[in-house]
Structure formats: structure tokens, C-alpha cells
Chains A and B, each alone.
Chain A
């Protein structure tokens, strides 16, 4: 309970007295590149292959003659939009971005860089963490939209190249029974997950004490706790919004 309390106090520190807006704007742009742009490659690889595997495995299981083969594309689309793109992408990002944030802040803490900011009279939590949180909340939804597209594209490539589904059936399937609200749901999830991953990882890194071993532990703890929080939030959002 005390850790949860400390986490909420830490969140309060982020919105405490801050610095000049121009400073935050520059930091936000740096973090958007560090968190968002640098994650494009891994998100692209993971999403394309997950989409491809989803298509092949769905087709493998759908053997009933009364179910049209275009249903494979429909299932790939809905799985991608509702779960695979937002949740799996954010789990991957929890590993990549979460460990990066925790180790960066942890190293800054143990090498007294955070103390150096504090003695200058700078709100170190706000200066270091707030841009990361906003950058994650802005770039994660973009990455998830990109991932959703690549999931469906990966399914299309795998399905048509292996011959399990024709191009016409796949395109018909992804247009069939489309619910636009699902796109909204897909964008809400990474917004929430981005906040959780960035704040939990920052919390773990910011309060690191000790040396290199503790930085490693903070990094591992950041990924573990972020993944758990993403899964819990995923369930809660599904329960609330669907």
C-alpha cells in the first residue's frame, strides 16, 4: 500500500512547479523521437508477423464448409483492432520503452544527475518524467494504429501468398460487419497504456537507490509491473467500454 501511495505522490510531483514551456516543448519533441519514432521498426516487425500468423492459424481452424472463407479476414481484422494491435503492441513497448525509461532515470539517480537538477532548483520529476509521459500518451496511439494496419496487411500477405484465402475474399472479409466504434476503442487503450507504462517505469527508475545491480532490478521491475498493469487495464477497459 505504501508503494501505491508513493506512486500517487510521485504523480503529484509531475504536475508540481514546472519550468518554462519552451523547455518542456523541446523535451517533449526529444521524447517523442526517443519513445515513438525509435519504436517504429520493432512495432512493424511484430505486427506484420502477428497478423500473418493470425491469418494462417485462423484459416487452419476454420474448416467448416458452412463458414465462408472471408470470415478469416473478418476475424483477423477484429482481433487486430480489439486486442492484438493495442495490447500486444503495448506489451512490446512496455519491454522496450519501459526498460529504457527505468534504466535511464535509475542511472541518472545513482550518478547524482537527478540531485544536480534538484539543487539547481529544478523540479526534476516534472522536467525528466512529464515529457516522457506525454510523449508516450501521444505516440502510443499512433504506433497502435500503424500496428493495426500492419496486422491486417500481414494477414493479407500471408493468406494470399500461401493460398489459404484469395485476395477478393480477404478484402471482402475485412469490410464485412465493420464497427467504427472499435477504432475508437483501439485508440483509447494505448492512451491509457502509455500513461501506465511511462509513469510506472519512471517511478521505478526515479527512486532507484544503490548501483548498477539496482538499476537492472528497477528495469526488470518496470517491465513486469507495466505488463501487469497493461493487462489489468485491458480487462477493465473492455468491461467498461464494450
Chain B
């Protein structure tokens, strides 16, 4: 379980996050949604320790990330898997080396153990055939899947995904969403997904938080989101013509 309490962050005097508080449960896909520039990615970076919040704290199973010593922070970090927006694969390494990288760096496993684990993770995301290819030789959707494989290779307790569907066609987006949901349920991970993709909201969102101009305007379960009476959320949800017609 991850708890965030009163997270605030400003850049050059501009308040990007205004006291966000929430709880993300284990084994659920938690979605943070909102338009561009609403502070979703900054909130994610605050949670994973890339940007230090001005106020507030982040608790990982009760362990306060920002008020702990470096060793505790390090151990929390090693329980995290992060899928970055562009995949963030290392250009100079093959797909297989990218997935094996955390094992090489952070564990003392034998070569065989590492090979088995990498093969398992690549097979889990359906990319065993692409193991020897370079990131420049694979598609955007494949990069995301390699990113997921790398994120789960260390058996994380917390999975963070920053816009996993950006730049993907609808079909690949659905596959990526399903994969994340399956992994979350299979390994009972606390998953947090930043997205503005409505398909994801409807398909895999269990607990959803809506951010608007740095404020949390709505939070709830996916079945309630359609019934919302928050005008900003309604505007966000029914921004396209098809959905507006469906609403009517």
C-alpha cells in the first residue's frame, strides 16, 4: 500500500501540486488522470523520489520515504518498478541486456539464474523472440513491453507507469493495459498508472484520482466516474464527440 499525504510542489513560484492526499491499495490498478500540465507526472516523480515535494510525505507500507535514511530509501527503491513514458531503454544494450540490467547491478544471482529470470519476464510480455534486438530495432509498443519486463524483473511490490499508452495505436494500448492489469493481479503489486487515455480509465481503472490544475478534484472507483457531477471531470471524460453522444 502506498499513502501520499498533503503533497505540494512548486516550480519557480508556480504551484504545480496543491496538497494531494490519497491511498493506493495493493493488487489494484490505481489511475491518476487529468489533462496535460495538471501535475500528474510531477506527482509520480514525487512518489518515486525523482522530485522532492516541498511539503508532505509518501509512505510505502508505512515507511516514510522522504524522512528515512538513505538505506531505507534504497531498499524502497529496489521494491519499485517504473515504466517510463518512452520506455527509457538503454540504447547501447540489447532488449535482453536491458531487462537483465537491474539483476546485474543489484543482485548477486548466478548467470543461469539471471538468464532464467530474464527469459521468464520476456516470455511474460511476449517478447522472447526479440531478446537479441537493439531498442532502435523494435516498435514503440515493443519498447513499452520491454520497459514492463525490466520493471517486473526484480519482483517489485510497487509498479509505476507513466502514460503507458502514449504514442500507441488503440489495439496495442489495450494489450499494454491488459498486461499491466494481469501483472498487478498476478503478483499482487500496488500499481499506479498516469494516463489521459479514456480506454484505460474504463478498462483497467479500479481506483481513479482526477487531477485538475494541481488539485485533486475527484477520487473514486471506475463504475462511479461516469456519474460524476464535477464539471471539470465531466469535461475531461466527455471531451470527444462519440462519448458526448453516448452520455446523452
Among candidates B50, B70, B89, B106, residue contacting A118 with C-beta atoms closer than 8 Å:
B50
Asked if A120 contacts B50 (CB within 8 A), the reply is: no
Known A-B contacts A113-B90, A115-B50, A120-B77; the reply to A23 vs B82 at CB < 8 A is no
Among candidates A19, A111, A121, A122, residue contacting B88 with C-beta atoms closer than 8 Å:
A111
Cβ proximity bits A16-33 to B, threshold 8 Å, 1 near / 0 not: 010110010000000000
Closest to B147 in A: A116
A21→B229 CA distance, assembly (Å) = 58
A107→B89 CA distance, assembly (Å) = 12
A115→B85 CA distance, assembly (Å) = 11
A169→B84 CA distance, assembly (Å) = 66
Among candidates A19, A116, A122, residue contacting B84 with C-beta atoms closer than 8 Å:
A116
- Interface residue count on the B side (C-beta < 8 Å): 22
A20→B50 CA distance, assembly (Å) = 23
Measured between beta carbons, the chain B residues less than 8 angstroms from A122 are 105-106
Asked if B105 contacts A116 (CB within 8 A), the reply is: no
B43 to chain A minimum Cβ distance, whole angstroms, is: 15
Measured between beta carbons, the chain A residues less than 8 angstroms from B183 are none
Q: Is A112 an interface residue (CB 8 A)?
A: yes
Asked if B88 contacts A112 (CB within 8 A), the reply is: yes
Measured between beta carbons, the chain B residues less than 8 angstroms from A107 are 91
Closest to B45 in A: A115
Q: Is A119 an interface residue (CB 8 A)?
A: yes
Asked if B78 contacts A120 (CB within 8 A), the reply is: yes
Known A-B contacts A120-B77, A121-B74, A121-B77; the reply to A112 vs B84 at CB < 8 A is yes
Q: Which of A98-121 contact B (CB under 8 A)?
A: 107, 111-113, 115-116, 118-121
- Interface residue count on the A side (C-beta < 8 Å): 15
Q: Is B102 an interface residue (CB 8 A)?
A: yes
Task: Point out which of A17, A113, A116, A122 has the most chain B C-beta atoms below 10 A from its C-beta.
Answer: A116
Among candidates A20, A111, A116, residue contacting B82 with C-beta atoms closer than 8 Å:
A116
Known A-B contacts A119-B48, A119-B49, A120-B105; the reply to A112 vs B80 at CB < 8 A is no
Measured between beta carbons, the chain B residues less than 8 angstroms from A119 are 48-50, 77, 80, 82
Asked if B78 contacts A112 (CB within 8 A), the reply is: no
Asked if B105 contacts A23 (CB within 8 A), the reply is: yes
A20→B90 CA distance, assembly (Å) = 19
A35→B104 CA distance, assembly (Å) = 24
Measured between beta carbons, the chain B residues less than 8 angstroms from A113 are 88-91
A196 to chain B minimum Cβ distance, whole angstroms, is: 25
A185 to chain B minimum Cβ distance, whole angstroms, is: 37
Closest to B48 in A: A119
Q: Which of B69-114 contact A (CB under 8 A)?
A: 70, 73-74, 77-78, 80, 82, 84-86, 88-91, 101-102, 104-106
Cβ proximity bits B160-194 to A, threshold 8 Å, 1 near / 0 not: 00000000000000000000000000000000000
Jot down 29 A-B pairs with beta carbons below 8 A, ordered by A: A20-B105, A23-B105, A107-B91, A111-B86, A112-B88, A113-B88, A113-B90, A113-B91, A115-B82, A115-B88, A116-B84, A116-B88, A116-B90, A118-B49, A119-B48, A119-B50, A119-B77, A119-B80, A119-B82, A120-B77, A120-B78, A120-B101, A120-B102, A120-B105, A121-B73, A121-B77, A121-B78, A121-B106, A122-B106
Q: What is A's interface to B at a CB cutoff of 8 Å? A: 17, 19-20, 23, 107, 111-113, 115-116, 118-122
| Top-4 shortest CB links A-B | A121-B77, A112-B88, A116-B88, A112-B84
New contact pairs (13) apart from A19-B105, A23-B104, CB-CB < 8 Å: A111-B86, A112-B84, A116-B82, A116-B84, A118-B49, A118-B50, A119-B48, A119-B50, A119-B80, A120-B77, A121-B74, A121-B106, A122-B105
Q: What is B's interface to A at a CB cutoff of 8 Å? A: 48-50, 70, 73-74, 77-78, 80, 82, 84-86, 88-91, 101-102, 104-106
